[in-house]
Amino acid sequence: MTEATIDMTTTAVLKANTATSGGREEFAHTISGTIGKPYLDGKDAKFFCRGVNVFYAGEKQAIFDVNMDIGRNEVISMIGPSGCGKSTFLRCLNRMNDTIAGCRVTGDIKLDGEDIHDKEQDPVLLRARVGMVFQKPNPFPKSIYDNVAYGPRLHGLASNRAELDDIVEQSLTKAGLFKEVKDRLQAPGTGLSGGQQQRLCIARTIAVSPEVILMDEPTSALDPIATATIEELIDELRASFTICIVTHSMQQAARISQRTAYFHMGYLVELNDTKTVFTNPQHQLTENYITGRFG
């Protein structure tokens, strides 16, 4: 199954290559640094990434020398053909790649000026600050309440039950779920609908008051109505969080993000204001992608 998918991606990528500029070597040559505006003013940048490379087991390189900044309280979307390394790059930002055996990340990633790979830095703390929402809703096999209380309990964020109740209620409210579930907080989280489950996962993530929320195709498993709800939610959350969202839907990127990054075969090809990317792409590869020549 997985093998089959990978196979499909490779063929897709190969096709993409022949459509544009031949083999990887030749294609890599066409990118001399990222086109657009990958960098922000020092004080505006929440994340600062320079020369990021990611290798999977067996020295298989998935990310090549990515340089970019992610701004405070912005929604940045990452698009690109599947297998181009969007998820891989996103997972660098909270060191989720550490949990994959044989995966190695090099380069500089700073969060508020602190190197996240520093010896002093703790992945547990980092992940409390940089939360993550996944493609498939993955509530824990616990009650709705316990799902949301999971993080605060782990990190000792509430000193008593009342505080915890408060955090849970606020998080659920922010995630736009409270009204729907307030009568059944003790019901299992797995019993909710797909869209509700994903909002529960978002509530769970914001319950620890992170500074950044990473979302990896959060709506790809949901129906259009649930997707719309989540998109609205993301727009509201922008006020309090920095949000990086990987999406396979260009419309979604256009609707919700301020800046958009286009990845291709592990390279960050173009990063610019969303409007520019979709109306006036600078790179041929970006244009090919958004005009639907492949993807």
- Judged by the rule CB under 6 A, the positions of this chain that interact with ligand ADP are 6, 56, 60, 62, 80, 82-88, 100
Which of ligand ADP, Mg ion, another protein, none sits in contact with 138, Cβ below 5 to 8 A by type? another protein
Q: What phi and psi values does residue 131 have, to the nearest 5 degrees?
A: -85, 170
Q: Which is nearer to another protein, 101 or 239 (CB)?
A: 101
Contact yes or no for 288/294 (Cβ under 8 A): yes
Residue count, binding to another protein (CB under 8 A): 35
Which of Mg ion, another protein, ligand ADP, none sits in contact with 6, Cβ below 5 to 8 A by type? ligand ADP
Cα separation of 7 and 112, whole Å?
Answer: 39
Q: Does 87 bind Mg ion (CB under 5 A)?
A: yes
Q: Which is nearer to ligand ADP, 57 or 154 (CB)?
A: 57
Supply the minimum distance, in Å, between the C-beta of residue 129 and another protein.
7
Q: Which is nearer to ligand ADP, 178 or 289 (CB)?
A: 289
Burial class (CB in 10 A: 0-12, 13-18, 19+), 120: exposed
Supply the minimum distance, in Å, between the C-beta of residue 82 and Mg ion.
7
Q: Which of these ranges, 34-42, 50-58, 60-68, 85-93, lies near Mg ion under the rule CB under 5 A?
A: 85-93
Binding site residues, another protein, CB under 8 A: 94, 96, 99, 101, 122-129, 131-134, 136, 138-142, 150-151, 154-157, 201, 204-205, 208-211
